[in-house]
Structure 1
Amino acid sequence: MDAELPALRLKLYIESLQVLMPERQFKLLMDLLRGYAELGGGRIEVKLDAEERELFTPAVQRELLVLLGLLGALVPGHEDRADGVVADLGDGERAKGVMSLVPPEVASDPARLRDMRDRLDAAEGRRASDRATVEGIAEVSGMAGTEEN
């Protein structure tokens, strides 16, 4: 039974969200969770259309983080991920409204949360710089695509 507990916990949480959330938000949340799982996890970047951006409220983002923790808890040896707490890390110079799923002891430590935000903000700065470099190279070489590509 202990091995089944993480899967049961995820299933029950999803069922409760289905009852509590507006249908369109729940569908978006499940689409994002499925996409994450199909890609094998890790860092992903998702493009949302205008309607999806409106549906992807901070509350939905929090639920996605909780679900990712519950999903991570399915991996043997990582069951503690189900106990994660969604922490608001605040705004950095580049990254705004940053949230992260963290262990409870980290959630109660403002210095550690600031350090996490600063590291995430620095990484966002590097990604923005890398994107600009790649886009510049593509433009100069005549390979610049459209937003749809």
Structure 2
Amino acid sequence: MADVDRTGGEDPQDPQEPQDPARVARLRLAVYVEALRARMPEAQFDLLWQAVTLWVEAGGGKVRLRMDPEDRELFTAEVQRELLTLIGLIGALEPGHEDRADHVVADLGDGTHAKGAMSLVPPSVAADPERLRAMRDRLDASEELSRSDAAELEGIARASGMMPGEED
């Protein structure tokens, strides 16, 4: 009598058996999260998980994290790297995008305005200093524009007496 797989899936020990890419992506994410939970201090893991949850609930893309000084201290470069890695692993759950799990966190370096920039990129991009420099330059230009816009909005608010806490 042949052995029957009662899990409803393929035999993970059989290298000849094709793997379901979605299942592999889910398992990879689950194992990674549990490894992070085991090795990170609880407060850092909790902060990381809050950031991941916020990103997922926002539907991905850009989110702004508001942190008190204690959280800022916990949100180290390592935690930021892990956030980007988790974003890649979550992105790999989307059918047809399983390759995102293989993306790596690349340090983009410091620009004039953007400091300590990192990005999740395919390995081929991470190995290309020119592409990384171009990414940093675009990010730096975007940061400069954001700061300029914020300063202009603050000036408008001041001129119209709309700045909170200011009294004439």
TM-score class, shorter: over 0.9
Choose which of 7, 14, 21 in structure 1 pairs with 2:40: 21
Q: Deviations over 1:82-138 (max 9, x none)?
A: 111111110000000111111000101111110110010000001111111122222
Tell me the distance in 1 between the aligned counterparts of 2:164 and 2:125: 42
Compute the TM-score of the two structures, normalised by the length of structure 1: 0.93
RMSD: 1.1
Choose which of 103, 109, 113 in structure 1 pairs with 2:132: 113
Asked if residue 99 in structure 1 is aligned to residue 136 in structure 2, the reply is: no
* Bigger mean CA offset, 84-93 vs 72-81: 72-81
Tell me the distance in 1 between the aligned counterparts of 2:30 and 2:162: 45
Tell me the distance in 2 between the aligned counterparts of 1:4 and 1:134: 48
Tell me the distance in 2 between the aligned counterparts of 1:129 and 1:86: 28
Q: Which residue of the partner structure matches residue 7 of structure 1?
A: 26
User: Which ranges of structure 2 fall in alignment gaps of 5 or more residues?
Assistant: 1-19
Tell me the distance in 2 between the aligned counterparts of 1:5 and 1:130: 44
Identical aligned residues as a percent = 60
- Cα distance, 1:144 vs structure 2: 2.0
- Cα distance, 1:11 vs structure 2: 1.2
In structure 2, what residue type is equivalent to 1:115?
Answer: A
Q: Which residue of the partner structure matches residue 42 of structure 1?
A: 61
In structure 2, what residue type is equivalent to 1:44?
Answer: V
- Tell me how many residue pairs correspond in the alignment: 146
Q: Which residue of the partner structure matches residue 126 of structure 1?
A: 145
In structure 1, what residue type is equivalent to 2:36?
Answer: L
Q: Which residue of the partner structure matches residue 61 of structure 1?
A: 80
Q: Which residue of the partner structure matches residue 4 of structure 2?
A: none
Q: For the pair shown, which has the larger CA radius of gyration, 1 or 2?
A: 2
Higher helix share: 1
Query: Residue 44 of structure 1: SS of its match in structure 2?
Result: coil
Tell me the distance in 2 between the aligned counterparts of 1:139 and 1:81: 45
* Bigger mean CA offset, 21-30 vs 126-135: 126-135
Query: Residue 5 of structure 1: SS of its match in structure 2?
Result: helix
Asked if residue 78 in structure 1 is aligned to residue 107 in structure 2, the reply is: no
Equivalent residues of 2:21, 2:98 under 8 A apart: no
Q: Which residue of the partner structure matches residue 51 of structure 2?
A: 32
- Cα distance, 1:142 vs structure 2: 2.3
Tell me the distance in 2 between the aligned counterparts of 1:139 and 1:73: 46
Compute the TM-score of the two structures, normalised by the length of structure 2: 0.83
